[in-house]
Structure 1
């Protein structure tokens, strides 16, 4: 018996941080994601392997079928998190059992470098939720937490707007394919940002949340309606300015790329992962000269 699940990665174009409080964010599923294959084997234990983009095993574990205890693992912390996810899935669906007689092994494989921050955790949660037949937003809340937009991207194959609403968020498929996508690039900042730490810092700030939500919602709607690159850039810059004042952090452009002629916008937690950059293919040499060599055009990144 073999079962296969697949979930898309994600990028949040608008609404970072504010999406936690109900702001409407524009999110895009990526061409990269994570698969989960459930297989039969001769093992007496339940075997789990996680593979990276080069198909090398970066994590492995064996769990007892009798009591689900860890028999062997290459990483105790990861094994503990995985056990916790499976346990919470079983709480949500008591009929779910990851160690059934016909499934003896699981293989999770990402199609992107893990440090890219495209959703290693969210795609895993979405896949396990599909396997366990439980609400993925409930499983996310019981494990990693977060806004849930990444879960929505995992299960949608087009651009979406996302707003939190308990375990039944408002997710709307939208059209986002402006004529200027050939002038949009995603540049990796050579470091992964810890989303949980970024969220905690945001939670400790004192500001008018309703005012922030209204501003972000307006920018999101205007971005969806924009048809010219200049208008799009102005809106991205406005979004950066609003969040910079709220977070009391300078923009990534001012910090790292003050002399770049195009627009640069942070995506997700500020200070790491990918940024959205406007410009031409030739303009990307600016970033390469500064040591940022992972640059993906919109067509190679977004579904």
Structure 2
């Protein structure tokens, strides 16, 4: 018998970095996700295989053999060992074939790790947030997205996740596009920079929380653009780094917002102009309409 678990990917529209310290964030589960399938084995080992969005095998290994030293295997074994600590009845015997299947390219930054952790947590019958916090760390918004079928407000209160599913379906969504910057951003590096450089955190958290609420409620593209521009300004000033728009796209006829860790993965472009041809002419061919990316 094959058992399959599934989790959604994620994009963080507001509150990046400051969500770690309690800012309210608007987080968006994506239509793309990752599955994990388990079937019993008679071979006395835990065999792991990972497929990309084109069904190509990008990782295959026998876990806990004591022979593998590659970083992927070490990370997988760490997650599974942490899961077993949280549920000692998990993996009493390691007689399984496990196969994971991504629905998005690995360099898109939509949550290949968070969807994996949430799927493993379902398999182990444990709290996915505990598994995240005790293995990878982070704010947990990505785990919340993995479990939801609609946009959410996400906030850490006393280090505990507070998740509020919301109706977020802006009237101007046809003017919103997600553009991939053709590079994978290391979110841990971005978090370290925030921890080191961020100034006036309490004020930043308050302002970003208010902006999240305003951005969620507005039904005007013009107002939305004004609000995300202010959001970018606040993060830029806090981290002492330029906005992606000023750095890469100063002539864009609209507003651009970084998503998650600044410097890579997807950006959000808001405009009534020809967004697709603009970014293609700049050498960025991966452009996805809001309605084709986000669950709503």
The interval holding the TM-score normalised by the smaller chain is over 0.9
1:262 is the counterpart of 2:258: no
Deviation at 1:283, TM superposition (A): 2.7
Write the distance in 1 (CA, Å) between the matches of 2:26 and 2:93.
Answer: 38
Tell me the secondary structure at the aligned position of residue 285 of structure 1: helix
Tell me the secondary structure at the aligned position of residue 258 of structure 1: coil
Deviation at 1:221, TM superposition (A): 0.6
Deviation at 1:167, TM superposition (A): 6.3
Unaligned runs of 5+ in 1: none
Deviation at 1:228, TM superposition (A): 0.8
Consecutive aligned runs of 4 or more in structure 1 exceeding 4 Å deviation: none
Tell me the secondary structure at the aligned position of residue 204 of structure 1: helix
Write the distance in 2 (CA, Å) between the matches of 1:87 and 1:281.
Answer: 51
- 1:207 maps to what in 2? 199
Write the distance in 1 (CA, Å) between the matches of 2:262 and 2:92.
Answer: 36
Write the distance in 2 (CA, Å) between the matches of 1:155 and 1:299.
Answer: 19
Task: Map 1:1-303 onto structure 2 (within 5 A).
Answer: 1-63=1-63, 68-70=64-66, 76-97=70-91, 99-101=93-95, 104-165=96-157, 168-280=160-272, 282-303=274-295
Deviation at 1:42, TM superposition (A): 4.0
Write the distance in 2 (CA, Å) between the matches of 1:31 and 1:281.
Answer: 25
Write the distance in 2 (CA, Å) between the matches of 1:32 and 1:261.
Answer: 29
Write the distance in 2 (CA, Å) between the matches of 1:286 and 1:8.
Answer: 29
Of 244-253 and 38-47, the range deviating more from structure 2: 38-47
The 8 Å contact of residues 185 and 264 in structure 2, kept in 1 or not, is answered as yes
Q: 1:41 to 1:280 in 2, by over 3 A?
A: farther
> TM-score scaled by structure 2?
0.96
Of 48-57 and 272-281, the range deviating more from structure 2: 272-281
Unaligned runs of 5+ in 2: none
State the superposition RMSD in angstroms. Answer: 1.4
Q: Give per-residue Cα distances to partners, 1:61-89, cap 9 Å, x unaligned.
A: 113xxxx3345x5x711001000000000
Of 33-42 and 231-240, the range deviating more from structure 2: 33-42
Q: Give per-residue Cα distances to partners, 1:92-115, cap 9 Å, x unaligned.
A: 1111117455xx210011100000
The 8 Å contact of residues 137 and 167 in structure 1, kept in 2 or not, is answered as no
Write the distance in 1 (CA, Å) between the matches of 2:114 and 2:120.
Answer: 10
Of 187-196 and 200-209, the range deviating more from structure 2: 200-209
The 8 Å contact of residues 183 and 279 in structure 1, kept in 2 or not, is answered as yes
Write the distance in 2 (CA, Å) between the matches of 1:281 and 1:238.
Answer: 21
Deviation at 1:144, TM superposition (A): 1.2
Of 144-153 and 199-208, the range deviating more from structure 2: 199-208
Tell me the secondary structure at the aligned position of residue 161 of structure 1: strand
Aligned pairs, number: 295
